[in-house]
Structure 1
Amino acid sequence: MTLAVTPHALRHIRRIVRTHLRRWGMPELSDAAELAVTEVLANVIRHAADGLCALRVLRQDGGIRVEVSDGSLALPVPRRAGELDEDGRGLALLGAITHAWAAEPAADGTGKTVWFELKAGG
């Protein structure tokens, strides 16, 4: 689905993700999935000039994969946030709560996709 992401929209997107997980019998992934989706979409709000992205929530054997594609060519780079920094912890958090994540440039050079995976029961 293509979304115009705003801070207000995040609440609705989290509810959609939670609903999918409940229907797929993986409600235990909801907290981590909602937090990870929020972090990835916050980067869309901050770095994609038009605030548009495509969101895909994919059911996998024993878990999920979430993909967020936007028009920004800049790949996210993890950084070490200072003690008093107000931001810069999102990718570290993403790494801590997901089983895997990465960012890849679009094959056609029009943007990038950031994805993460969560596994049920582990």
Structure 2
Amino acid sequence: MAESVSADEVTFRLSRSRRSVPRSRAALHAVLGGWSVCQDVLESAELVLSELVTNALRVPVPRDRQVGVRIARSPADGLLRLEVSDAGSGRPEVRAPGDEETGGRGLLLVEALAHRWGVEERVDGVGKTVWAELKAPDIVAEPVGREVAAAAVRPGQRVRVWGEWRAVVSVRSEPCGEADPAVVMGLDEGPALRVHATEPLTVRDGGMR
């Protein structure tokens, strides 16, 4: 599952497999957890994305054609946008299946849960993109860091180093000549960070990288 991540969107591609539906839900759950989306919106988004991915997997195209997924947020508008792209032609339509039919209700569910939804032609390839927007008034923007002395950093926080946010796993002090002691931080990725205790660092609590 190839993935691209930025502050306000995550994109990835899925193989044409039944396992791709639960994989898309798991990815969505991880992303929305970092964006502090409430449980009701999370559950609705999981249902909507599941239906969109399921429909895309049913499109009659060669098996090597993947399904594209984009999860994006607009904190200023309080909206969460889900997009699923496939290489098929045509436009999905809302059906009204009879009581005896067991399927065909996917877009009815999407229409009921989404603030709005639609279909667009893919501008950079064949096929289409089906999108849905959900109201998410509690969706948060990228957290703003604050500057503290290295000695004040604690495990569980994130520190801005090498141009990226890294989770602090451990913190310990050690002598540093005759001056201030040094602080050594174990990070979730990359080498440990060793700085003077008074060195100013930009930190924030938890959240996504």
* TM-score, shorter chain, exceeding 0.5: yes
CA RMSD in angstroms, aligned pairs only = 1.8
Letter in 2 for 1:55: V
SS at match of 1:55: strand
Matches within 5 A, 1:20-35: 20-28=31-39, 29-35=41-47
Note the alpha carbon deviations across 1:12-45, whole angstroms, 9 max, x for none.
Answer: 2101101111101113321001100110011111
Matches within 5 A, 1:7-26: 7-26=18-37
Note the alpha carbon deviations across 1:34-69, whole angstroms, 9 max, x for none.
Answer: 100110011111114235211100011213101111
Tell whether 2:56 aligns with 1:44: yes
Determine which of 46, 70, 84 is the counterpart of 1:56: 70
Counterpart in 2 of 1:75? 91
Following the alignment from structure 1 to structure 2, what is the Cα–Cα distance between the partners of residues 9 and 68? 12
Letter in 2 for 1:25: S
SS at match of 2:51: helix
Distance 1:73 1:108, change over 3 A: farther
Structure with greater helix percent: 1
Report the count of equivalent residues: 122
Following the alignment from structure 1 to structure 2, what is the Cα–Cα distance between the partners of residues 8 and 30? 20
Following the alignment from structure 2 to structure 1, what is the Cα–Cα distance between the partners of residues 60 and 132? 19
Moved over 3 A (4+): none
Following the alignment from structure 2 to structure 1, what is the Cα–Cα distance between the partners of residues 50 and 96? 20
Note the alpha carbon deviations across 1:54-97, whole angstroms, 9 max, x for none.
Answer: 11000112131011111001210111101111211111110001
How far is the alpha carbon of 1:98 from its aligned partner? 0.9
Following the alignment from structure 2 to structure 1, what is the Cα–Cα distance between the partners of residues 17 and 125? 24
Query: What is the aligned-residue identity percentage?
Result: 34
Following the alignment from structure 1 to structure 2, what is the Cα–Cα distance between the partners of residues 90 and 99? 16
TM-score (norm 2): 0.54
TM-score (norm 1): 0.90
Letter in 1 for 2:135: K
Following the alignment from structure 2 to structure 1, what is the Cα–Cα distance between the partners of residues 116 and 83? 12
How far is the alpha carbon of 1:9 from its aligned partner? 2.2
Compare CA radii of gyration and give the structure with the larger one: 2
Letter in 2 for 1:73: S
Structure with greater strand percent: 2
